[in-house]
A = this chain, B = another copy of it.
Amino acid sequence: MQGALGVWMIGALGSIATTVIIGTLALRKGLTEPLGMLTTGDPFKDMALADLTAIEFGGCDIRPTEQRSVARQVLNLSDIADPAGCREIENAFLQIVSRIDKGTARNCGDAIQQLTDSSVMRDCSLREEVAEIRRCLQQFKRERSLTEVVVVNLASTEPPLELDRCHMDLQAFETCLDRNDAAAVKASTIYAYAAVREGCPYINFTPSSGALVPAIIQLAEKNKVPVMGNDGKTGETLVKSALAPMFTCRNLAVLSWEGFNILGNMDGSILRHPDNRESKIKTKDQILSRILGYAPHSRVHIDYVPSLDDQKTAWDFIHFKGFLGAKMSLQFVWQGYDSMLAAPLVLDLVRLADLAKRRGEGGLMPQLACYFKAPLGVEEQRLYEQFKMLLDYAELATATRSHHEICV
């Protein structure tokens, strides 16, 4: 019989993690519907996924926060009308986050560094940091009697990691760690390496390129640990990947696609910093040329507008040319709560990564492409084609379920 599934979130005090936890608590109480999630409905529900009632939350964060007020903001946006239910959820949530570990902010840039307090790891060697994270994961698994632990990176975007020879090959990367070559890693690299070494599936929900470097993917393949990233596809890019193929279906030439994103949460605050923003814009930018087969003029702008809090607002202006060269346009305005859009994807990803692990699959999970802005190892950027990849996988996994269950 299967024990509980552990979800260990990097950035466990952030807005997305808070929403993941509160949402799961509310779903368990039947106070809300599982909107935004795919895995509770057809054709996913016969796939032997971990039950939502059998999930334990843990994780780490580098900064102190006022958790009660973050929780209230999430509850306030929700449609949970029952005040008693809200109080119970709030209390359960506070207990969960009281057990969070401290993490590392290594090479995350000044913007992130500033948020840390004194308890964050400093002056350790790379190997010591890895060891500390592995210790946290072991303790989490042991103390809560977990069958599996999935690690999810929900931390703020780091500056890009320049990929070097040492990231291309597992052996070279190990040598780097031995030599304590600090420039070769970001915090996300430490977490990913530690997770895979512990046999924990790893989901990079952020654009941070330091997480799933080729060497770590190699290790994941070798050790049969499923991993996937990068950058959860929640808002403007989601619409882009649904809409861009339309222009192909009508042979309309996209001349320019200009995107302008404003948001006011911690994510936005960090993305004000050019180094961190660079990572984000990269994962948002490649999608158009892949879908269209040519590169229109396109730029993605991001700005921090504190008053918006978690309500990301994006304006996209698409200029295109049709018959007889006539120029026309399509604009859209997306107004979504980033964490409300991200949290259900995190729950889906965690359940699907856990299943993949139990099915003996290792390395990248291309079936999860539809969840990511820059899906690793997948060329396909059209939303509906990516979605079909997931449906095909679900069908296959359901069909082969009995076989696996017998083998396991």
Contacts and interface: CB of A to CB of B under 8 A. Distances in A.
A303 B33 contact: no
B324 A328 contact: no
A54 interface: no
Most buried by B among A250, A256, A387: A250
Contact of A242 (B38, B249, B313, B319): B249
B313 A303 contact: no
Contact of A253 (B35, B249, B251): B35
Report, as a range, how many residues of chain A touch the other chain.
35 or more
Contacts of A35: 251-253, 321-325
A239 interface: yes
Contacts of A76: 76
Interface string A234-276: 0000110011011001111101101010100000000000000
Interface string A209-238: 000000000000000000000000000001
Number of copies: 4
Interface string A64-83: 00000100101011111100
A330 B328 contact: no
A283 B308 CA distance: 26
Contact of A243 (B239, B317, B335, B337): B239
A329 B242 CA distance: 16
Contacts of A279: none
Contacts of A327: 307
Interface string A1-45: 000000000000000000100110010000011111110010000
Contact of A330 (B255, B332, B343): B332
13 contacts: A34-B323, A35-B321, A37-B251, A79-B325, A243-B243, A246-B383, A255-B307, A260-B301, A297-B307, A307-B327, A323-B344, A324-B343, A329-B336
Interface of A: 19, 22-23, 26, 32-38, 41, 69, 72, 74, 76-81, 238-239, 242-243, 245-246, 249-253, 255-256, 258, 260, 262, 297, 299, 301, 303, 305-308, 313, 315, 317, 319, 321-337, 340-341, 343-344, 370, 382-384, 387
